[in-house]
């Protein structure tokens, strides 16, 4: 019987922490070019031995190239995961800031947690929803302002269609 515990490492799903490392390495490589263990440790607020240990694990899975005292490089597969995590993070962050009007620092922290839980289909629907409310003439900025008023006062300023909604 095959279970997650006896699958080869490369067949096991990535953990949220592994995804965070790959996203961080992806971001740092775009910002700096060369990525060092200390850069990763600083960005993730962890100790350098923790980074070295994770890089060993990611290397065994074929996601990074790393030799002790050398720069870290993502493999093609590692870069694909890092890029996807950055896309997820930005989509969730954008939704939180632009639609729900969550403060930017909070949105960034929460996007980091949520990005791991959404399926690709749900994420794509979220992105499509944001595009829709930005382009549809019956929605847009005015609609978002009405949403904020509803949040603050428990009722929209003007709702030409629909019935009253009970707030939770």
**Percent of the chain surpassing pLDDT 90:** 48
pLDDT digits (tens, 9 = 90+) for 64-81: 999 888 899 999 999 999
Architecture of domain 9-80 in this structure: Orthogonal Bundle (1.10)
More confident residue, 33 or 64: 64
- Note the pLDDT of residue 165: 45
Q: Is the pLDDT of residue 29 over 90?
A: yes
- Note the pLDDT of residue 157: 63
Which among 65-74, 136-145, 156-165 has the top mean pLDDT? 65-74
CA quadruple 46, 110, 112, 103: dihedral positive or negative? Answer: negative
- Would you say 15 and 117 are in contact if contact means Cβ atoms under 8 Å apart? no
- Note the pLDDT of residue 9: 57
Q: Is the pLDDT of residue 1 over 60?
A: no
pTM (predicted TM-score): 0.74
Nearest to 147 by CA among 110, 104, 99: 99
Q: Give the side-chain half-sphere CA count within 13 A for 60.
A: 11
Q: Apex CA 47: angle with CA 79 and CA 112, to 5°?
A: 50
Mean pLDDT of 154-163: 59
Q: Is the pLDDT of residue 101 over 90?
A: no
Instruction: List the domain boundaries for the chain.
Output: 9-80, 88-153
């Amino acid at each position: 019987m095959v279970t997650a515990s006896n699958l080869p490492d490369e067949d096991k799903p990535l953990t949220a922490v592994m995804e965070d490392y790959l996203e961080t390495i992806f971001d740092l490589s775009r910002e700096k070019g060369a990525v060092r263990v200390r850069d990763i440790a600083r960005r993730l607020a962890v100790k350098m031995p923790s980074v070295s240990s994770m890089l060993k694990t990611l290397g065994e899975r074929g996601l990074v190239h790393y030799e002790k005292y050398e720069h870290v490089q993502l493999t093609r597969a590692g870069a694909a995961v890092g890029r996807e995590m950055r896309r997820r993070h930005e989509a969730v962050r954008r939704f939180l800031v632009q639609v729900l009007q969550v403060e930017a620092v909070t949105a960034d922290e929460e996007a980091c947690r949520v990005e791991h839980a959404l399926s690709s289909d749900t994420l794509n629907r979220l992105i499509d929803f944001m595009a829709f409310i930005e382009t549809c003439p019956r929605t847009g900025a005015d609609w978002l302002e009405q949403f904020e008023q509803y949040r603050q006062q428990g009722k929209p300023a003007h709702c030409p269609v629909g019935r009253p909604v009970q707030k939770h």
